Amino acid sequence: MISNGVNIIIKSISMVLATLLFATPALALEVGGSVGATAQTSVGGGKATATIDAKLQVRIDTAKNHADQEIDRRVNRLNDLGTRVQAMVRVSAAEKASIAADVASQASALLALKTKIDADDDIATLKTDIKSIAGSYRIFLLIIPRGHIMVAADKVGTTGDLFTAFAGKLQTRIADAQAKGKDTATLSASLSDMTTKIADANTQADAAVSLVASLTPDNGDQAKLKANEQALKDARAKIKAALDDLKVARQDAHGIVQALHKMGLEANASASSTATGTAR
């Protein structure tokens, strides 16, 4: 029987894919409506001016607090992604270091922006800096979805390796059954389909990574924004196709195991335990 560990990995890929289908809304912060107009009407009378200034300061403080929360939310998500990146096993150390460095640099830049926003004393500068949280960094629209796609592709590859090892053990059992005079034509066909699906899953996952690996924030360039969105969409589709392949491969393996049982033969027990241990 296919191990619970493999099933858990496939479910985790499904969950990652589900998160990729929904983008977090872009940040929309303002420093309290038409501040400039309000400030201009404050001329005349020290008490009136002081009241207007106090209201303006409240708006500024509120905007800064909101901006700080949005930055913290993005940094926390980046840190979580960094942890996931470190758990990737099929990429090279250099690739992992490159991805991790990119995530860390984005988090560092956001924290620097947070410090600048907290120190801003010019309304126009404050508005520009707040707008850049979503407009320049694209954490939720690009960086995190790109990272999740790469993590999902890594999981696809890991699961494919498990299935490949298990397919080898099934091949041995099918050969044993054939040597004992059993009709193994259907089993061989299922095994062939299983290996084909595993190979295609890996191909789809690699293609997904190729689509997103070099993407960078658009910084307001609408053409690049659209291109990034299309690349992410195409990569998600490839991850989904890879996941569908793995599900079929699992079904093929399950069918082979059941058929061997009916023939009075056992699928290699060590194959199941090996898959379980690797999945953990």
Looking at residues 2-30, what average pLDDT do you find?
52
pLDDT value of residue 39: 40
- Top pLDDT among 18 and 262 is at 262
Is a pLDDT exceeding 90 seen at residue 1?
no
pLDDT value of residue 200: 98
End-to-end CA distance of the chain, in Å? 17
pLDDT value of residue 276: 34
Mean pLDDT of the chain: 82
Amino acid residing at 115: T
Determine what percent of the chain is predicted with pLDDT higher than 90. Answer: 60
pLDDT value of residue 223: 96
- Top pLDDT among 25 and 49 is at 49
Is a pLDDT exceeding 90 seen at residue 133?
yes
pLDDT value of residue 91: 77
The pair of structure tokens assigned to 256 is 């082979």
Structure-token match 């699928």, residue found? 267
pLDDT value of residue 49: 62
Is a pLDDT exceeding 60 seen at residue 27?
no
pLDDT value of residue 36: 39
pLDDT band for position 54 (cuts 50, 70, 90): confident
Spatial distance between the Cα atoms of 8 and 135, rounded to a whole number of angstroms: 37
74-114 per-position pLDDT tens digit: 999 999 999 999 899 987 787 788 888 889 999 999 999 99
Model pTM greater than 0.85? no
- Top pLDDT among 24 and 41 is at 24
Is a pLDDT exceeding 50 seen at residue 273?
no
Spatial distance between the Cα atoms of 28 and 59, rounded to a whole number of angstroms: 15
Looking at residues 25-53, what average pLDDT do you find?
49
pLDDT value of residue 25: 46
pLDDT value of residue 12: 59
Alpha-carbon distances of 244 from 204, 222, 233, rounded to whole Å: 11, 33, 17
Q: Which long-range contacts (CB under 8 A, 24 or more apart) does 111-119 make?
A: 111/71, 111/75, 113/71, 113/137, 114/67, 114/68, 114/71, 114/72, 117/64, 117/67, 117/68, 117/71, 118/64, 118/68
* Residue 28, CA atoms < 13 Å, CB-side half-sphere: 4
Spatial distance between the Cα atoms of 185 and 191, rounded to a whole number of angstroms: 10
Is a pLDDT exceeding 90 seen at residue 55?
no
Tell which residue, 268, 273, 2, 10, has the closest CA to residue 158.
10
Spatial distance between the Cα atoms of 123 and 31, rounded to a whole number of angstroms: 8
Looking at residues 228-255, what average pLDDT do you find?
96
Spatial distance between the Cα atoms of 143 and 78, rounded to a whole number of angstroms: 8
- Top pLDDT among 69 and 40 is at 69
For residue 251, the Cα-to-chain-centroid distance in whole angstroms is 26
Residue 27 is classified by DSSP as P
* 3 state SS for 146-159: HHHHHHHHHHHHHH
152-204 per-position pLDDT tens digit: 999 999 999 999 999 999 999 999 999 999 999 999 999 999 999 999 999 99
Which of 3-7, 51-55, 98-102, 137-141 shows the lowest per-residue confidence on average (mean pLDDT)?
Answer: 3-7
